[in-house]
């Protein structure tokens, strides 16, 4: 009886928790994955596909279905959680490219949204077919319903009793060929090589980081968003921008005394100014610079 009461209590508790989660609402900012992540593995081991309606969330488990509604234009999309994150203050959900396209936010970077839990994906159950049992008994011909065990088929000796031909047969030459054993190659489960994941604003005081530096042509225009005096401050700024999904980051060094952090390049002054105006909507200040005039 005690076990029955305990089981009933646990079952009721689970139902209550599910009821609380179902329909729960959350308000904050949504952003979307950079295309650099397409084909990479999520925290749950699933391959991220930019064309599927998926999302990352810090709290909801794998398979949770969420309705994400943009607050300004009221557009909504239903996504399935297949990753954990984002881990930036104010950011509550990270959307796939396809989901962001439905919310019309590809040119915004991040927007204010409402997130609602609408259900849980049904688990996939694999049912193995049981092997068929071959009967070992056969019914008797008497029709009495009784059975008798099938007797094994007697072995028949098929060896001929004709004496062998005593004439000497010509020798048969058998060419020996090397035996080639084929080893089946296991197909790769990934269709695309994982790409290097960028630091997303969580660069700590320790760890191993990969940094690739290459020269950029001094032509076109950019939007300068920071000017710092130390190398460490410059790395912190780059990590912060990567955390906001910027991957068009340029660094201008002035004799090691000043580091300018620039977003670009852009072909024309007009396109750079349009980008600057879009940055201001995201509370990021900057100004247009001519890259050809950089030292």
Kindly state whether residue 208 falls inside one of the protein's structural domains: no
d(CA 24, CA 115): 8
Which H helix or E strand runs over 30?
strand 25-32
- Give me the pLDDT at residue 186, please: 39
pLDDT at 287 over 50: yes
pLDDT at 46 over 70: yes
Which SS3 state, helix, strand or coil, does residue 85 take? Answer: coil
Kindly state whether residue 157 falls inside one of the protein's structural domains: no
Which H helix or E strand runs over 83?
strand 76-83
CATH number at residue 29: 2.40.40.10
CATH number at residue 233: 3.30.70.1070
pLDDT at 242 over 50: yes
Exposed/middle/buried for residue 182 (C-beta within 10 Å: 0-12, 13-18, 19+): exposed
Stronger pLDDT, 195 or 64, i.e. the higher one: 64
Backbone dihedral angles phi then psi of residue 82, each to the nearest 5 degrees? -135, 15
**With DSSP H G I counted as helix, E B as strand and the rest as coil, what are the percentages for the chain, rounded to 5?**
20, 25, 55
Kindly state whether residue 134 falls inside one of the protein's structural domains: no
d(CA 209, CA 200): 12
Proportion of the chain above pLDDT 70, given as a percent: 61
CA distances from 61 to 21, 72, 215, 245, 280 (A): 11, 28, 43, 24, 35
Q: For residue 116, give every residue at least 6 positions away whose Cβ sits within 8 Å of its Cβ, in sequence order, or none.
A: 23, 24, 25, 26, 66, 67, 69
Q: Tell me which of 75, 90, 120 is where a domain ends.
A: 120
d(CA 233, CA 251): 12
pLDDT at 119 over 70: yes
CA distances from 139 to 89, 136, 151, 152, 231 (A): 77, 10, 12, 15, 90
Q: Tell me which of 79, 98, 120 is where a domain ends.
A: 120
Is the bond preceding residue 86 a cis peptide, omega within 30 degrees? yes
List the structure tokens of 121: 């994906």
Provide the residue range defining the domain that includes 282.
Answer: 221-293
With contact defined as beta carbons under 8 Å apart, do 264 and 220 qualify? yes
**DSSP β-bridge partners for residue 261:** 226, 251
Kindly state whether residue 289 falls inside one of the protein's structural domains: yes
- Give me the pLDDT at residue 231, please: 80
β-pairing, 259-266 with 25-32?
A: unpaired
d(CA 200, CA 198): 6
Q: Quick one: CA torsion of 111, 227, 253, 238, rounded to 10 degrees?
A: -30
Which H helix or E strand runs over 70?
strand 64-70
pLDDT tens-digit series, residues 199-224 = 544 455 555 666 666 777 888 999 99
**DSSP β-bridge partners for residue 47:** 41
Q: Tell me which of 89, 120, 151 is where a domain ends.
A: 120
Kindly state whether residue 165 falls inside one of the protein's structural domains: no
**Cβ count near 95 (within 10 Å):** 26
The label of the residue with tokens 């925290």 reads: 43
What total of structural domains would you count in the chain? 2
């Amino acid at each position: 009886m005690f076990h029955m009461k305990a089981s009933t209590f646990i079952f009721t508790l689970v139902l209550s928790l599910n009821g609380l989660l179902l329909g729960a609402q959350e308000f904050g900012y949504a952003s979307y994955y950079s295309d650099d992540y397409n084909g990479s593995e999520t925290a749950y081991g699933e391959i991220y596909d930019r064309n599927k309606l998926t999302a990352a969330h810090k709290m909801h488990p794998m398979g949770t279905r969420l309705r994400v509604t943009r607050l300004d234009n009221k557009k909504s999309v239903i996504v399935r959680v297949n990753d954990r994150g984002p881990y930036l203050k104010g950011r509550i959900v990270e959307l796939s490219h396809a989901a962001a396209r439905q919310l019309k936010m590809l040119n915004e970077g991040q927007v204010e949204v409402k997130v609602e839990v609408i259900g849980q994906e049904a688990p996939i159950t694999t049912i193995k077919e049981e092997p068929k049992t071959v009967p070992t008994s056969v019914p008797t011909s008497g029709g009495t319903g009784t059975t008798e065990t099938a007797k094994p088929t007697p072995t028949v000796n098929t060896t001929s009793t004709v004496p062998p031909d005593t004439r000497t047969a010509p020798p048969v030459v058998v060419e020996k060929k090397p035996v080639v054993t084929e080893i089946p190659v296991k197909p790769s489960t990934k269709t695309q090589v994982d790409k290097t994941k960028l630091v997303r604003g969580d660069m700590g005081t320790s760890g191993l980081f990969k940094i690739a530096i290459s020269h950029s042509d001094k032509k076109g225009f950019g939007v300068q968003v920071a000017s710092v005096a130390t190398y460490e401050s410059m790395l912190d700024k780059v990590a912060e921008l990567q955390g906001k999904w910027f991957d068009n980051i340029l660094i201008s060094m002035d004799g090691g005394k000043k580091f300018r952090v620039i977003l670009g390049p852009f072909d024309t002054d007009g396109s750079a100014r349009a980008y600057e105006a879009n940055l201001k909507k995201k509370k990021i200040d900057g100004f247009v610079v001519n890259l050809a005039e950089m030292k």
